[in-house]
């Protein structure tokens, strides 16, 4: 058994509401690497929380921490594990601790919305990073100095980020490949019955036509146009012109395949983005209203209450 100081050390920082799937995938990948039969264990890890207390994942399961935030060695690697309501759980104490530790020169990264915490700490300005697709638009809205990519994971110098979930396995397998070699990484993947690890540029989501079960090319294009134009919504006539259909033809396609009108579907997309912004950022209701293409705060509030049964000002994380 190697001496403890010769093992590569990872320090997982659990943030309330973190994704248990993403955290478990990352940790289990390292654990399996230590079982590689042709070599000695290579990794060790610690699990920390801000105050040393157990931390509840978004699914309610609590994970015991080994201790509170403390001083790390340069040789250790920080991994921020976050998930829902990351804005509410990001404290000044955590941000100051991150800035202080990262100055030592260690590698550091994040799973899922943990990218937001790195950005709030001012550690990834100008860096290529990624996050879970559900949080991507919200983070892009409030973090314009970060280069946000739509990828499974990103590595930019000392910084590594991933979309979370199963993508944590892809990222950690790549780190094992870099640190221990392809043979070890392949053996670990086989142990996880994960025989085809994905490259970083693999899409996070199924293709739009697959998600919506739409096989009509023009309708799929219309859906994509709507997704790409949330802040400045297009009129039905403008969308119809882009996809080379009449407005009536577009309405018939939506009725047949989606079951709602183009206007109602477009409103749903904008409200979903609004909910993400309210829950994941500290943007004001007014700022969210503008970011989601609503011309009137009263119209936005009425639409939001109609969709979710709560006023936007009462959503967690909003002001």
4-44 per-position pLDDT tens digit: 567 899 999 999 999 999 999 999 999 999 999 988 889 99
Q: In angstroms, rounded to a whole number, what is the distance separating the alpha carbons of residues 282 and 295?
A: 20
State both tokens at 204. 């996070």
Q: In angstroms, rounded to a whole number, what is the distance separating the alpha carbons of residues 16 and 24?
A: 15
Residue 254, helix vs strand vs coil: helix
Give kind and range of the element (H or E) at residue 279: helix 262-280
- How confident is the model over 226-250, as pLDDT tens digits? 988 988 999 999 999 999 999 999 9
Q: How would you classify the pairing of strands 77-81 and 108-111?
A: parallel
- How confident is the model over 159-181, as pLDDT tens digits? 999 999 999 999 999 999 999 99
- How confident is the model over 124-153, as pLDDT tens digits? 998 999 998 887 777 777 777 888 888 899
pTM of the model: 0.74
Mean pLDDT of the residues in the chain: 88
- How confident is the model over 278-305, as pLDDT tens digits? 877 778 899 999 999 999 999 999 999 9
Q: In angstroms, rounded to a whole number, what is the distance separating the alpha carbons of residues 317 and 42?
A: 40
Q: What's the pLDDT at 319?
A: 38
Give the pLDDT mean for 40-50: 95
Closest Cα to residue 10, out of 79, 103, 106, 102? 79
């Amino acid at each position: 058994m190697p001496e403890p100081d010769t093992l590569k050390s990872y320090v997982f920082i659990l943030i309330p509401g973190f994704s248990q799937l993403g955290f478990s995938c990352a940790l289990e990948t390292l654990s399996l690497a230590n079982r590689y039969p042709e070599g000695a264990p290579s990794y060790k890890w610690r699990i920390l929380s801000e105050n040393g207390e157990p931390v509840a994942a978004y699914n309610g399961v609590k994970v015991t921490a080994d201790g509170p935030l403390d001083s790390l060695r340069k040789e250790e690697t920080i991994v921020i594990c976050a998930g829902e309501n990351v804005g509410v759980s990001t404290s000044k104490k955590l941000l100051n601790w991150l800035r202080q530790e990262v100055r030592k020169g260690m590698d550091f990264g994040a799973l899922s919305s943990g990218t937001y915490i790195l950005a709030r700490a001012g550690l990834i300005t100008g860096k290529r990073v990624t996050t879970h697709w559900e949080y991507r638009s919200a983070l892009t809205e409030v973090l314009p100095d970060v280069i946000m990519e739509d990828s499974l994971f990103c590595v930019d110098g000392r910084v590594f980020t991933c979309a979370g979930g199963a993508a944590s396995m892809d990222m950690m397998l790549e780190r094992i490949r870099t640190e221990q070699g392809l043979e070890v990484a392949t053996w670990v993947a086989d142990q996880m019955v994960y025989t085809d690890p994905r490259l970083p540029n693999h899409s996070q989501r199924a293709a739009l036509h697959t998600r919506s079960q739409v096989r009509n090319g023009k309708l799929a294009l219309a859906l994509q146009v709507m997704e790409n134009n949330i802040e400045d919504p297009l009129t039905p006539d403008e969308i119809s012109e882009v996809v080379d259909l009449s407005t009536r033809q577009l309405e018939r396609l939506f009725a047949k395949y989606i079951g709602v009108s183009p206007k109602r579907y477009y409103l749903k997309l904008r409200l979903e983005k609004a909910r993400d912004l309210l829950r994941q950022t500290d943007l004001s209701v007014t700022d969210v209203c503008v970011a989601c293409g609503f011309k009137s705060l009263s119209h936005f509030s009425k639409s939001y209450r109609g969709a979710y049964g709560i006023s936007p000002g009462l959503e967690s994380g909003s002001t």
